[in-house]
Amino acid sequence: MSGRVILVGAGPGDPDLVTVAGLKALRAADVIVTDRLVPKGLLEEARGDAEIIEVGKVPRGEFTPQERINEILVEHAMRGKNVVRFKGGDPFVFGRGFEEWQACAAAGIPVDYIPGISSSIAGGGLAGIPITHRGVTQGYIVVSGHVPPGDERCDLDWDHLAASRLSLVIMMGVKYLPQITQRLVAGGRDSQTPAAVVENAGLPQMRLLRSTLGEIAEAAREADIRPPAVTILGEVAGLPVE
Ligand code: SAH
């Protein structure tokens, strides 16, 4: 009989921010296939005899190709194992979780999904920046900044993003923050728009940097901001806590 795969979101960094369902699944797993960005403390919750396979990706570093990750999940489930695929934040927010779901489904493996708190929403909140605020913004947009505006692999409409008055959250955007912020200003977004970067949200070493759209890239360079970090652009990034 085949086992199953459960896609589990670990939350944004603090081990306490996994869901109760996610923790139960981790404790019950025969095999845990884990990313490197997940809170390490949570893996101590695994059974003593559970097999832990680290496949994570570090930006521009060592990684396991997605096809191989899919195979690992299918192979272990085929052997009857209860497999947890453990990913940072939410599995479906720039996590390739649904590719894994599809690969398992194609092999006849049952899949479950346990959501995680995504850093796209909570990253700002953990640093005191709300993603929406009544009377300030009626929505938010989350985009990936892993390729710069103008790159042929980038299919975002930057003029549209610049014109929107919604909170804009940029994930994987540390490297190309200068190009992204320049493109938004060129597209008409006010360079005085409040901007913030939250590095390592939810972790003891969390850092918050506040600036403006026009100056945040330089400020982030000076502060030596490194991934993982989310950038939040919009009025919410400048709201006082008191
Ligand atoms: N599935 C994840 C996102 C994966 S993409 C989620 O839902 O949170 C990786 C990007 O997520 C990083 O480049 C960064 O932009 C963001 N990220 C993940 N963890 C973070 C953290 N603790 N603090 C700030 N940003 C984080």
- Ligand 1 atom index nearest CA of 171: 15
- The token duo for 100 is 């894994």
- Ligand 1 atom index nearest CA of 146: 13
Tell the residue nearest (CA) to atom 6 of ligand 1. Answer: 89
pLDDT of residue 80: 97
pLDDT of residue 58: 58
Q: How far is the CA of 156 from the centre of ligand 1 (A)?
A: 19
Question: pLDDT tier at 57 (50, 70, 90 boundaries)?
Answer: low
Active-site residue, 90 included: no
- The overall pTM is greater than 0.75: yes
pLDDT digits (tens, 9 = 90+) for 165-182: 899 999 999 999 999 999
pLDDT of residue 38: 87
Task: State mean pLDDT over 107-115.
Answer: 97
Q: How far is the CA of 84 from the centre of ligand 1 (A)?
A: 20
Active-site residue, 78 included: no
Angle CA 155–213–122, to nearest 5 = 75
162 touches 156 (CB < 8 A) = no
CA 51 to centroid of chain Cα atoms = 25
Cα separation values, 157 from 148, 151, 160, Å: 12, 12, 5
Active-site residue, 172 included: yes
**Percent of the chain scoring above 90 in pLDDT:** 90
pLDDT of residue 21: 98
Q: How far is the CA of 28 from the centre of ligand 1 (A)?
A: 26
> What are the φ/ψ torsions at residue 110 (nearest 5 degrees)?
-70, 140
- The token duo for 162 is 């610049």
Task: State mean pLDDT over 93-122.
Answer: 97
- Ligand 1 atom index nearest CA of 231: 15
pLDDT of residue 40: 82
pLDDT digits (tens, 9 = 90+) for 58-86: 555 667 899 999 999 999 999 999 999 99
**Choice between 242 and 220, residue whose per-residue pLDDT is larger:** 220
Q: What is the mean pLDDT of the chain?
A: 95
pLDDT digits (tens, 9 = 90+) for 15-48: 999 999 999 999 999 999 998 878 888 999 999 9
Q: Which residues of 95-109 are buried (b: 16+ CB within 10 A; e: fewer)?
A: bebeebbebbeebeb
**Percent of the chain scoring above 70 in pLDDT:** 97
E-strand ranges in the chain read 4-9, 31-34, 51-54, 82-87, 111-114, 140-144, 167-171, 194-199, 207-212, 229-233
User: Which residues, at least 6 apart from 33, have a Cβ–Cβ distance to it below 8 Å?
Assistant: 53, 55, 69, 72, 73, 76, 83, 84, 85, 86
Q: Tell me the pairing of strands 82-87 and 31-34.
A: parallel
Give residues (CB < 6 A) around ligand 1.
Answer: 12-13, 37, 88-90, 93-95, 118-120, 123, 171-172, 198, 200-203, 227-230
pLDDT of residue 60: 59
Q: How far is the CA of 157 from the centre of ligand 1 (A)?
A: 22
**DSSP code per residue over 41-54:** HHHTTS-TT-EEEE
